[in-house]
Amino acid sequence: MLPRVLAARKKKAQKIVRALKKLFPKTGMALRYSNNWELVVAVVLSAQCTDKKVNEVTEKLFRKYRTLDDYADADPKEFEKDIHSTGFFRNKTKNILEAANMIRNDFGGKIPRTMEELLLVPGVARKTANIVLGNAYGVVEGIAVDTHVIRLSRLLGLTDHADAVKIERDLMQVLPEKEWFAFTYRLIDYGRKYCTARRHDHAACPLSKIL
């Protein structure tokens, strides 16, 4: 990124962060869970699925499968039925059950605390790892880039990229590190409440009025 472009984007990012803090003083993840393993499961299920639907599915799922062993020893066909409505259920089942086995066998039943180790877990890419590390351990190594963040960071001129990893890199350059964790959730809140993916008048969106 050219120095003048970086400087301009940093200035713009400051305005966006200030505005988002006023719009959403409190923010956080909408997925519900009661332990770190359930957090991993919920985030994996949320791929290409709404948080609302995931919470509906996990309300029953977490009552049925109570321990890591329950997942590691689960019948794949039965598990597919349990999560069917979240979409991509075969791939999600494969990843979740393999992840449970790896965490049980290779990590002593504990969710890894580092990006490097988490990325070894089936179904876990940088977005999931950032969410898990931040929410489970308060460890912030990057910025979780989901579909809202991809769409809005491009729309707001914070990146020119479409690839999530490259967008994360750009955002890490223009945002202060202390804002990385909350920025994802405030931008998601903003996308849901004001600037949806559906066709609408962007000029009427709050951030459009200050940029």
158 and 179 housed in the same domain: yes
Tens of pLDDT, residue by residue over 138-156, are 999 999 999 999 999 999 9
- Domain, as residue range, for 169: 3-28+143-209
- 211, 170 Cβ separation under 8 angstroms: no
Angle (CA) 62-68-71 rounded to 5° is 70
We report the CATH number of the domain holding residue 173 as 1.10.1670.10
The single-letter code of the amino acid at 92 is: K
Span 16-45, average pLDDT: 97
**Phi and psi of 2, rounded to 5°?**
-65, 145
Please count the other Cβ atoms lying within 10 Å of the Cβ belonging to residue 201. 7
Task: Tell me what the pLDDT averaged over the chain comes to.
Answer: 96
Which sign, positive or negative, has the C-alpha torsion 20, 25, 28, 30?
A: negative
pLDDT at 11 over 90: yes
163 and 95 housed in the same domain: no
Angle (CA) 53-55-58 rounded to 5° is 110
41 and 133 housed in the same domain: yes
40 and 128 housed in the same domain: yes
Q: How confident is the model at residue 209 (pLDDT cuts 50, 70, 90)?
A: confident
pLDDT confidence of residue 1: 83
102 and 155 housed in the same domain: no
13 and 73 housed in the same domain: no
197 and 122 housed in the same domain: no
CB contact set of 143 (below 8 Å; sequence gap of 6+): 130, 149, 168, 171, 172, 175, 180, 181, 183, 184
Q: How confident is the model at residue 162 (pLDDT cuts 50, 70, 90)?
A: very high
pLDDT confidence of residue 110: 97
The single-letter code of the amino acid at 196 is: T
99 and 161 housed in the same domain: no
pLDDT confidence of residue 177: 97
- In the chain, the number of structural domains is 2
We report the CATH number of the domain holding residue 118 as 1.10.340.30
- 98, 73 Cβ separation under 8 angstroms: no
